Structure 1
Amino acid sequence: MLEQAFQTHLQKEQFWHAGDKVVVATSTGVDSMVLLWLLSHLPKKLRPQVIVAHVNHELRAQSTAEEAYLRRFCQEHALPLHIQHWAQASHPKTGIESAARHFRYAFFHQVMQTEVAHYLVTAHHGDDQLETLLMKLVRSGELHEMRGIRQVRPFKTGTLIRPLLPFSKQQLRDYADQIGLGYYEDQTNQAPTVLRNRMRHAVVPLLKQENPHLIQNANRFSQSLIQLVAQQDELTAALLPLLAIKGHSTAIEGRLDQLDALNQPQQRALWQLVWQRYFKALPALKLTQLMQVQQLLANPQKPQGQVALNNGVIFEKQYRYFRIGRQPTADFSVETRTLTVNEWLRLKNGEQIGIFDIDHLPNQVQRQQVVWLAPKDWPLQLSALQATDRIMLDKTHHKTIHRLWIDTKTPQSKRQNAWAIWTPNQLLGRPDLRISALFNHEQTGKIRYILCYLED
Structure 2
Amino acid sequence: MPLQTDLYASFSDQLSHLIGRAPNEKSSNTDRSNIDSSNTDSSNKNSSLLIVACSGGVDSTTLLHLAHRYCLEKEYRLAAAHVNHGVRELADRDEKFVRAQCDELDIPCLVANLAEANGAAPEPREGVLREHRYEALFKFVRQHQAMALLVAHHADDQFETVLWRLIRGTSLSGISGMRSLSVRQNVSIMRPLLEHAKSQIQAYADSHGLDYIVDETNQSEEYTRNALRHNVIPYLKGIQPQVLQAVTKFAQIAQEEDAWIEAKAEEVVKTCIKFEGNRAIVDISQLHTFTVPLQRRAIKILLYCLASMQWTFDHVDSILQLSHSKSPSARIELPSGLAAWRIYDAMIVAEQGTESFFARGDSSEPVSWALCDKSTILFPNDGSQFWQFYCERWRVPDTLSVSLNEAVIPDVAGIHIRTADTSERIQPLGMNGRKKLQDIFVDAKVPKQMRRVWPVVCVGREIVWVPGLLRTQARLVAAHETAGWKLTVTAPVLNWIAHSNPDADSE
Residue range with higher mean Cα deviation, 93-102 or 135-144: 93-102
Q: Which residues of 2 match residues 29-428 of structure 1 at below 5 A? A: 29-40=57-68, 51-75=79-103, 77-89=104-116, 90=118, 91=120, 93-94=122-123, 95-110=128-143, 113=145, 118-154=147-183, 159-173=188-202, 176=205, 180-243=209-272, 245-253=273-281, 255-256=283-284, 258-259=286-287, 261-276=289-304, 278-279=305-306, 281-284=308-311, 286=313, 289-290=316-317, 292-293=319-320, 296-297=323-324, 302-327=327-352, 328-330=354-356, 334-338=364-368, 340=370, 346-347=378-379, 348=381, 349=385, 351-352=387-388, 366-368=405-407, 381-387=416-422, 389-393=423-427, 400-411=436-447, 414-415=450-451, 417-421=453-457
In 1: Cα distance, 2:391 partner to 2:90 partner: 78
Determine the C-alpha separation between the residues in 2 that align with 1:385 and 1:408. 15
Q: 1:438–1:43: structure 2 CA closer, same or farther, 3 Å change rule?
A: closer
Question: Structure 1 CA distance, aligned partners of 2:309 and 2:329?
Answer: 25
Deviation at 1:335, TM superposition (A): 0.9
Question: 1:118 corresponds to which letter in structure 2?
Answer: M
**Structure 1 runs not aligned, ≥5 long:** 443-447
Cα distance, 1:234–1:161 mapped onto 2, change above 3 Å: same
Cα distance in 1, alignment partners of residues 180 and 316 from structure 2: 30
Residues 26 and 52, structure 1, Cα contact 8 Å, conserved in 2: yes
Identical aligned residues as a percent: 21
Q: Give yes or no for contact 2:456–2:463 (8 Å, CA) kept in 1.
A: yes
Counterpart amino acid of residue 383 in structure 1:
R
Call closer, same or farther: CA 1:338–1:24 in 2, change over 3 Å.
Answer: closer
Shift of residue 86, structure 1, vs aligned partner: 0.7
Deviation per CA, 1:304-337: give whole Å up to 9, x if none: 5445444333344434444332242547961133
Cα root mean square deviation, aligned: 4.6
In 2, distance between residues paired with 1:210 and 1:224? 23
The CA distance in 1 between the partners of 2:12 and 2:210, in whole Å, is: 25
Amino acid at match of 1:62: L
- The whole-number CA distance in structure 1 between the counterparts of 2:109 and 2:392 is 70
Aligned residues: 435
Deviations 1:149-171 (A, max 9, x none): 22233577875332322333344
1:72 to partner: Cα distance: 4.2
Cα contact 1:268–1:291 (8 A) shared by 2: no
> How far apart are the structure 1 equivalents of 2:452 and 2:174?
38
**Higher Cα Rg: structure 1 or 2?**
1
**Residues 45 and 62 of structure 1: is their aligned pair in 2 closer, same or farther, counting only changes over 3 Å?**
same
Conserved in 1, the CA contact under 8 Å of 2:265 and 2:295?
no
Instruction: Name structure 2 gaps, 5 residues minimum.
Output: 20-47, 492-507
Offset at 1:212?
2.3
Does the 8 A contact of 2:54 with 2:61 survive in 1? yes
Contact between 1:55 and 1:85, CA under 8 Å: does it hold in 2?
A: yes
Partner SS state of residue 15, structure 1:
helix
Look up the equivalent residue of 1:314 and give its one-letter code: A
Single out whichever of 278-287 and 404-413 deviates more from structure 2. Answer: 278-287
Contact 2:371–2:415 (Cα < 8 Å) also in 1: no
